[in-house]
């Protein structure tokens, strides 16, 4: 886990979404604006206002964009993060917006959640893009099962096995070769994030994530795929939104059709069976 923590400490997710001074209000506002511009499905998936007055456990809070929106909309949030640098930024974010009293932050490995987070029932367990980056996803799901009851909801996002991005990685960096499953997994991990060399990245099909959740007593209520990144990466790094040529001329309806079938994000809503 030290290798994984070190990876995210070097470059916390979304940390370069703004040119403003890190930890300033302007920085956090621009990070949020940019994140939800390129990933608007998050807002619909989570529906932040619906958790007002509820208890939310967020596993893998990163630098706290979603965390702040839960708290801003009236939720009481417990936020867990493995990267100390990410957690420090998230804590500062809460102070900047005066929401530190609504959020409890915990540093630690979600595969051992009960060791450092008090076991209490939460209305929502939320994990967007973390479970596929831990060595043993099943251990995280098992830990989550101790923090829910029959009325609790689990919302998580994992990377989709049958996605446009997975295909793009294999074709771009694999020279169209055929690999063993292990070699494919290594290639996907290496290029799954903006910073190359991610130590662990798993992909899930709808059936695979359903089976994983069922092992620990959950049933899937809904699953959706979403999010194809359409912009040229070189321009995006310079804060310019220039679509790749084949997306530029694609009708919006066709692009949306692709996202709903071959999106990178597999968004799942579940509850205890």
Q: What are phi and psi of 135, to 5 degrees?
A: -60, -35
pLDDT at 81: 98
**Domain span at residue 163?**
2-272
Q: How many domains does one find in the chain?
A: 1
Contact 195/236 with Cβ under 8 angstroms? no
What 3-state DSSP class applies to 250?
Answer: coil
Residue reference for tokens 């490995």: 109
Please report the pLDDT score of residue 181 as a whole number: 59
Separation of alpha carbons 102 and 158, rounded Å = 27
Global pTM exceeds 0.75? yes
pLDDT > 70: what percent of the chain?
A: 96
Mean pLDDT rounded to a whole number for the chain: 94
DSSP state of 208: H
Tell me, what's the pLDDT at 175?
Answer: 58
**Cβ proximity of 117 and 144 under 8 Å:** no
CATH code assigned at 44: 3.40.50.150
3-state secondary structure 121-149: CCCEEEEECCHHHCCCHHHHHHHHHHHCC
CB 97 within 8 A of CB 72: yes
Q: What one-character DSSP code corresponds to residue 64?
A: S
Say how far apart CA 189 and CA 183 lie, in whole Å.
Answer: 10
Q: What is the pLDDT of residues 193-227, one digit of tens each?
A: 988 999 999 999 999 999 999 999 999 999 999 99
pLDDT surpassing 60 at residue 180: no
pLDDT digits (tens, 9 = 90+) for 109-125: 999 999 999 999 999 99
């Amino acid at each position: 886990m030290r290798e994984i923590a070190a990876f995210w400490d070097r470059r916390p997710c979304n940390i370069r979404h703004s040119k403003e001074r890190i930890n300033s209000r302007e920085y956090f506002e621009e990070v949020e604006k940019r994140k939800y511009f390129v990933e608007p499905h998050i807002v619909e998936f989570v529906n932040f206002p619906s958790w007002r007055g509820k208890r939310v456990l967020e596993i893998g809070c990163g630098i706290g964009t979603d965390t702040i929106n839960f708290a801003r909309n009236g939720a009481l949030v417990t936020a867990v993060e493995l990267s100390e640098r990410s957690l420090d930024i998230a804590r500062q974010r809460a102070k900047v917006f005066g929401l530190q009293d609504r959020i409890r932050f915990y540093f630690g490995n979600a595969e051992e959640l009960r060791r450092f987070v008090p076991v209490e029932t939460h209305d929502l367990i939320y994990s967007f893009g973390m479970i596929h980056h831990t060595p043993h996803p099943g251990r995280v799901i098992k830990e989550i099962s101790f923090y829910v009851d029959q009325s609790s909801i689990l919302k998580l996002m994992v990377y989709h096995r049958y996605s446009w991005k997975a295909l793009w990685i294999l074709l771009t960096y694999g020279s169209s070769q055929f690999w063993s499953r292990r070699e494919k997994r290594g290639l996907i991990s290496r290029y799954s994030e903006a910073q190359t060399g991610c130590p662990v990245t798993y992909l899930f099909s709808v059936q695979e994530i359903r089976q994983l959740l069922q092992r620990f007593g959950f049933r899937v209520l809904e699953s959706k795929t979403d999010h194809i990144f359409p912009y040229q990466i070189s321009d995006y790094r310079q804060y310019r939104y220039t679509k790749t040529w084949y997306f530029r001329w694609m009708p919006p309806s066709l692009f949306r059709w692709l996202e709903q079938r071959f999106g990178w994000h597999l968004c799942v809503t579940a509850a205890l069976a």
